[in-house]
Structure 1
Amino acid sequence: MILLGEGTVFTRDAKRPMIEHGAVVMEDTKIIEVGDFEMLRKKYPEADYVDAHGGIIHPGLINVHHHIYSALARGLSLTDFAPKDFLEVLEGQWFRIDKGLMNPNTKASAVATYLSCIQYGVTTIFDHHASYGEIDGSLSVIAEEAKRFGVRSCLCYEVSDRNGREEMEKAVAENLRFAQEAKKDPDHLTAMMGLHASFTLSSETLDYVVNENAENLGYHIHVAEGIADLEDSLNKYGLRTVERLYQKGILGKKTLAGHCIHVNDDEVKRLAETDTMVVHNPESNMGNAVGAPDILKLYNEGILLGLGTDGYTSDMFESYKAANCLVKHRAQNPGVGWTEVPEMLFNNNRMMAERHFSQTLGVLKPGAVADVIVIDYDAPTAMNESNINSHLLFGVNGSDVVTTISDGIVRMKDRELQGMNKKALLTEVRAEADSLWKRLNG
């Protein structure tokens, strides 16, 4: 049993949003009580005490679109690479990298990513993986690190035609194989059917995937991220991207559509009527110069709209800040986004996660999973339940997370990893990155 306190508890539970001088009590993997610190300390004298040092006690964060495979690209300089548009970025960098990734590189990528997640207070992720250098078993390699670091993970492998029919079928098989493996540990792992994007998926491939997907896994796919995805769909099939995917049976309640930038009103309505989830990735969209989605339109249509990072970072507070600015910039209206963006991160992300994990996530209340973080933040102005999101937006970064607990296990305490040697881990990661870089530029 753990008693975490004393601090200002922001529960994300509408029934009791804030507790000053509060604490959280956890037993095994669940929260058993949230309340006044002094009262709980007297009630549970036998509990192991974890000092929150007066910080903000908050649910662990959730990232609904990540790319573990991109972790070893930080600092990488590729020969003959000077992209002028998004397709050149994909073909010259990301397709080149994922084609070179072997399972040892994938493991190192997972270590680097999950280490960052723990440091930034992220306890659940949805990852979209590609490693065409070695497909078989790659999701299991990631899953092992997910369990070691204690980051709940929904995994998939990116199906694409770009490396030929045989590799496409191997990718489908990897999704299906891992789905069976994930069933053995449903509290921590789950699976989706990964798809790259409409423009790298022929009609024959989509038909094959749907026919093979007997378990009705939800699909995790990039949708109309770049204008080329829309143009390809119109030129080849006479359909806009969302409509094409709808007609192929890809949309639905358990499907996650990344980006959705180049979509029109009819497509937004189609996403809404199929209850398809959409995830916004602001930094990636700006960095790739693909445009910005109309998240106000998506949100107001009733779509379950979440926030991710697309591999750009593991820091959800960073994504929160970027999303807040980008929605205002796109609308040319500084008054928008104040409600929608925090709703995406702190409410919708957990609702999306709960569609794939049959647990209560992202909230501090009895019965919820014991995923809890402590943020070192001493507010310079009054802080209460009505302005907490503003304090987090303007006053907090992922590096302000000092303690991370997942599944009732302390993973990081006062910025120190528990049971793992950070220096040794990063030494191994750098060695794998070096081998990959030499291969890519060889």
Structure 2
Amino acid sequence: MKKLLTNGTVLTRDAAQPMVEQGAVLFEDGVILEVGTAAALEQAHPDAERIDAKGGIILPGFINAHHHIYSAFARGLSIPGNCATDFPGVLEGTWWNIDRHLMRPMTRMSAYMTLIEGIRSGVTTIFDHHASFGEIEGSLDEIAEAATTLGVRACLCYEISDRDGAEKARQSVLENERFENYCKTDKSGLLAAMCGMHASFTISEETMAFAREHTNAGFHIHVCEGAYDRDHCSATYHETVVHRLARHGILGEQTICGHCVYLTDEDRRMLAETGTAVVHNPQSNMGNAVGVTDILKLFGAGVTVGLGTDGFTSDILESVKTANVLVKHMNQHPSIGFGEVMDMAFVNNAKLADRHFGDTCGVIRPGARADLIVSDYRPMTRLGPDNINGHITFGMNGHNVTTTICGGRVLMQDRELVGIDEEKIQHECRAQADALWKSLGAH
């Protein structure tokens, strides 16, 4: 049945028709059919099911290009004796400690609640990077179940690493391969697969080669998030991390390199030439005190740079705001970087979604996926296609989102989740989080 999201200002991200005041979007079977004025579309399609935007702003659904869903269980967590003074200490004391205790029911419930947070903040597509060395096999199915039940588009991978031994590294490779094959038969249209890797410094030559042999998908890997990754690769392999990945055939248009804080000019050139994407995660980098990704040099080299949250939040607009001030702070220049940040969040993230889901995402035009959101943001100054990015950065936040639609399915309407017992999910999530905390000796 045709549906009509109507009675709102449509901001399309389509240069051919950037804005429609008092507009509407007609869609069916997950695809946008028409974009126009509410009056014209309501008259032309009187039988369409109407969804009232109530005078709000209609936007394409947001895309988060790098997330760690399970990290939500760390909120409020204090692990006894864990007081890191550097990034390797953060990994060992917090994240690797958590994932060694993470079991499938914990993975499943963290996915439900994190994806619900995404829905509430207008995120319709998530690229997740998962690790649960307590229980590896089938762990991606738990996230996939939550995504398909809730109706969110999710590109998933499992984090390959030798940090817990060669056998678990092998299991991690096979989990990626198994899920990649599963996605080939999935009928939901919501799932995609990548081959996840932690980072160069935790992956042996043998494991990296084994992974390359067992996937036809692109890779999703942390690259030079901290200086330790750079220094380890230089001392061990006498090359940069980017060169090492190139030697193993891991770079390419289907690959995402997260962070990329410590790169050489030659690294950036290789990323650009191979079409490899980089995803910037500003809040996480600041919180871990690892340094700042030089997004301006990446753009200057021609690299496709997207934006993620790295588990720090599920609200991509928080990363937009942070990235905007961070690039200015880093360069001590108040008038640079704004355009690049907007391109990361709203142009390049859409390119990544297109690459991995084979659809047109991140834009409102006929033929694109019907991933739509409504914001109740009420601008106190003029709003137009020429200044929407300024309103988003300095006015909007995820809490403004009232309605979220993914692939034509209404996931939330007027801030009410559709067909989901959120209270029950919250109760089950708390029980699994408590079990994790207990296993960590926390309380």
TM-score calculated relative to the size of structure 2: 0.98
Provide the C-alpha distance between the structure 1 equivalents of 2:277 and 2:88, rounded to a whole number of angstroms.
25
1:101 deviation in Å?
A: 0.4
Secondary structure of the corresponding residue to residue 258 of structure 2: strand
1: CA distance, partners of 2:117 / 2:282: 19
Q: Is the 8 A contact 2:150 2:420 kept in 1?
A: no
Show CA shifts across 1:302-349 (max 9, x none).
Answer: 111100000111101111000001111111111111211111111110
Contact 1:183 1:189 in 2 (8 A): no
Post-superposition CA distance 1:253-300 (Å, at most 9, x none): 110000000111111111111110000000000000000011001012
The one-letter code sitting in structure 1 at the alignment partner of 2:292 is A
SS of the residue corresponding to residue 222 of structure 2 reads strand
Distance 1:369 1:426 in 2: 30
Q: Pairwise mapping of residues 91-170 of structure 1 onto structure 2 (< 5 A)?
A: 91-170=92-171
Letter aligned with residue 16 of structure 1: Q
Q: 1:149 Cα deviation (Å)? A: 0.9
Corresponding residue number in structure 2 for 1:11: 12
**1:312 pairs with 2:337:** no
SS at match of 1:154: strand
CA distance in 2, matches of 1:211, 1:4: 46
Question: Which position in structure 2 is the counterpart of 1:279?
Answer: 279
Q: Which residue of 2 aligns with 1:190?
A: 192
Within 2, Cα distance between the matches of 1:247 and 1:379?
Answer: 51
Aligned CA RMSD, in angstroms, stands at: 0.9
Corresponding position of 1:39: 40
Q: Is the 8 A contact 2:230 2:241 kept in 1?
A: yes
Cα distance per residue 1:187-234 (max 9 Å; x no partner): 211111100000001112111211223xx2100000000000001001
CA–CA distance in structure 2, aligned partners of residues 192 and 27 of structure 1: 29
**Equivalent residue for 2:440?**
440
How many percent identity over aligned positions? Answer: 53
Q: Provide the secondary structure at the position in 2 that maps to 1:21.
A: strand
Task: State the shift of 1:118 in Å.
Answer: 0.5
Tell me what 2:257 maps to: 257
Distance, in Å, in 2 between the alignment partners of 1:121 and 1:427 is 23
Separation in 2, partners of 1:303, 1:310: 20
How far did residue 249 of structure 1 move? 1.3
Instruction: Report the alpha carbon displacement of residue 112 of structure 1 after superposing the two structures with TM.
Output: 1.2
CA distance in 1, matches of 2:273, 2:48: 48
Q: Does 1:89 align with 2:95?
A: no
TM-superposed CA distance for 1:185, in Å, is: 2.5
For 2:52, the equivalent position in structure 1 comes to 51
1:87 aligned partner, one-letter code: P
SS at match of 2:357: coil
CA distance, structure 2, for counterparts of residue 270 and residue 29 of structure 1? 37
Distance in 2 between residues matched to 1:55 and 1:423, nearest whole Å: 27
Q: How does 1:294-333 map to 2 (within 5 A)?
A: 294-333=294-333
Matched, 1:389 2:389: yes
Alpha-carbon distance between aligned partners in 1 of 2:201 and 2:175, rounded to the nearest angstrom: 21
SS at match of 2:185: coil
Matching residue's letter, 2:208: L
- 1:183 partner SS: helix
Secondary structure in structure 1 of the residue aligned to 2:51: strand
The reply to whether residue 208 of structure 1 matches residue 210 of structure 2 is yes
Report the 3-state secondary structure (helix = DSSP H, G, I; strand = E; otherwise coil) of the residue aligned with 2:263: coil
**Matched residue type, 1:185:** D
State the Cα distance separating 1:240 from its structure 2 match.
1.4
Work out whether residues 278 and 303 of structure 2, in 8 Å CA contact, stay in contact via their aligned partners in 1.
yes
SS of equivalent to 2:208: helix
- Output the CA distance in 2 between the equivalents of 1:327 and 1:279: 14
Question: 2 CA distance for matches of 1:416 and 1:279?
Answer: 31
Aligned equivalent of 1:68: 69
TM-score by length of 1: 0.98
**Partners of 1:415 and 1:240 in 2: how far apart?**
47
Contact 1:251 1:274 in 2 (8 A): yes
Partner Cα distance (2:174, 2:108) in 1: 20
Amino acid corresponding to residue 189 of structure 1 in structure 2: L
Deviation at 1:47, TM superposition (A): 1.2
Number of aligned residues: 440
Give the AA of the match of 2:299.
Answer: Y
Runs of 4+ in 1 over 6 A off after TM superposition: none
Which stretch shows the higher mean deviation, 286-295 or 64-73?
Answer: 64-73
CA distance in 2, matches of 1:435, 1:389: 42
User: Aligned partners of 1:370, 1:345: CA distance in 2, in Å?
Assistant: 18
In the other structure, the counterpart of 2:23 is 22
Q: Which runs of 5+ in 2 are unaligned?
A: none
Cα drift, residue 14 of structure 1:
1.0
